Amino acid sequence: MPKVTKKTLNCRGRLVDLSQPVVMGILNATPDSFFADSRIIPDKTATLMAVELAQQMLDQGATFLDIGGYSTRPGAAPVGPAEEADRILPVIESIRANFPDALISIDTFRASVARQAVQSGASVVNDVAGGTLDPAMFETVATLGVPYILMHMRGTPQTMQSLATYTNVTSEVIDELAVRLAELRALGAKDIILDPGFGFAKTPKQNFELLSKLDAFQLFDEPILVGLSRKTTIWKTLNIKADEALNGTTVLNTAALLKGTSILRVHDVREAVEAIKLTQQLTFF
């Protein structure tokens, strides 16, 4: 197992230790995210559903709760910033009211939504576009002073699958992230987490290549987040459906942990926590 430099994240004054991997649970305030069990349907019962799912994930060992209001699955319909904010802000506020110590991440590529979410209680910004879809994002997160998840993607959620052309996917993803990381650091952003962007402008074959070489991303000396949970790469490879992809998710999460991942972003928290506990035992031999 690769040695990972000890990391801490400053989440609005609270230090989160990443010397051992942690789990981020997914809550989608959308009607069309690809995995139905992660959806908090945006209606009058949304906040109740969010509290119940948050309780379950926190009880199972989640360190972060990642809340999104814009489905980024391939071909998903676009949603305006006002509707996105209307979906996520009541959920964030409700979770904060019921679980004051919960660490909430806002999954958005829009600076305005990120700002509103942090003002409502979010502690982390998770940007699937890595700053490419909103030129104000980098300056916004640097000003807010919260950890930022810099993910690799090309194009938009609607066009990304047509842009999965690489000569060497690992080196090109590293090079493209390096440019954006330098921009963030120049603006004074501190706690930055890198996400190679599995499934975003990448084919299943490219995803497997990225995963096999994931330890190469340690050259940045930043924590690595992996989001492979129930994705197309798993269920298409196994010729199953997304709701049957838990076992495959655990297999690939285990591989990611052995390559130095610090954060697993998942739909199924208990299984990810168990994978971490078991892989950590390998460090004793």
CATH number at residue 226: 3.20.20.20
Max Cα-Cα span within the chain: 52
Weakest mean pLDDT among 65-79, 89-103, 137-151, 238-252: 65-79
- Residue 28 within any structural domain of the chain: yes
* % the chain with pLDDT above 70: 90
Weakest mean pLDDT among 25-29, 42-46, 56-60, 91-95: 42-46
Q: How many CA atoms lie within 13 A of 11 on its CB side?
A: 24
**CA dist., res. 154 & res. 137, Å (int):** 16
pLDDT (0 to 100) of residue 40: 58
Q: Please enumerate in sequence order all residues whose Cβ is within 8 A of that of 168, keeping only pairs 6 or more positions apart, or say none.
A: none
- Residue 2 within any structural domain of the chain: no
**pLDDT band of 34, cuts 50, 70, 90:** very low
Into how many domains does the chain fold?
Answer: 1
- Residue 3 within any structural domain of the chain: no
**Residue 68's domain spans which residues?**
8-284
**Residue whose structure tokens are 């090309």:** 154
The answer, yes or no, to whether residue 10 has pLDDT greater than 70, is: yes
- Residue 187 within any structural domain of the chain: yes
Over residues 176-196, the pLDDT tens digits come to 999 999 999 999 998 999 999
- Residue 41 within any structural domain of the chain: yes
**pLDDT band of 283, cuts 50, 70, 90:** low
Q: Where in the sequence numbering do the catalytic residues fall?
A: 231, 265
Neighbours of 208 (CB within 10 A): 17
- Residue 1 within any structural domain of the chain: no
Q: What is the mean pLDDT of residues 228-232?
A: 95
Q: What is the mean pLDDT of residues 5-12?
A: 82
Instruction: Report the mean per-residue pLDDT for the chain.
Output: 91
Weakest mean pLDDT among 39-48, 197-206, 270-279: 39-48
Q: What is the mean pLDDT of residues 242-247?
A: 94
- Residue 74 within any structural domain of the chain: yes
**Which has the higher per-residue pLDDT, 162 or 134?**
134
The answer, yes or no, to whether residue 134 has pLDDT greater than 90, is: yes
**CA dist., res. 226 & res. 251, Å (int):** 13
pTM of the model: 0.92
pLDDT (0 to 100) of residue 226: 98
The answer, yes or no, to whether residue 77 has pLDDT greater than 60, is: yes
- Residue 112 within any structural domain of the chain: yes
**CA dist., res. 177 & res. 151, Å (int):** 8
Q: What is the mean pLDDT of residues 88-94?
A: 93
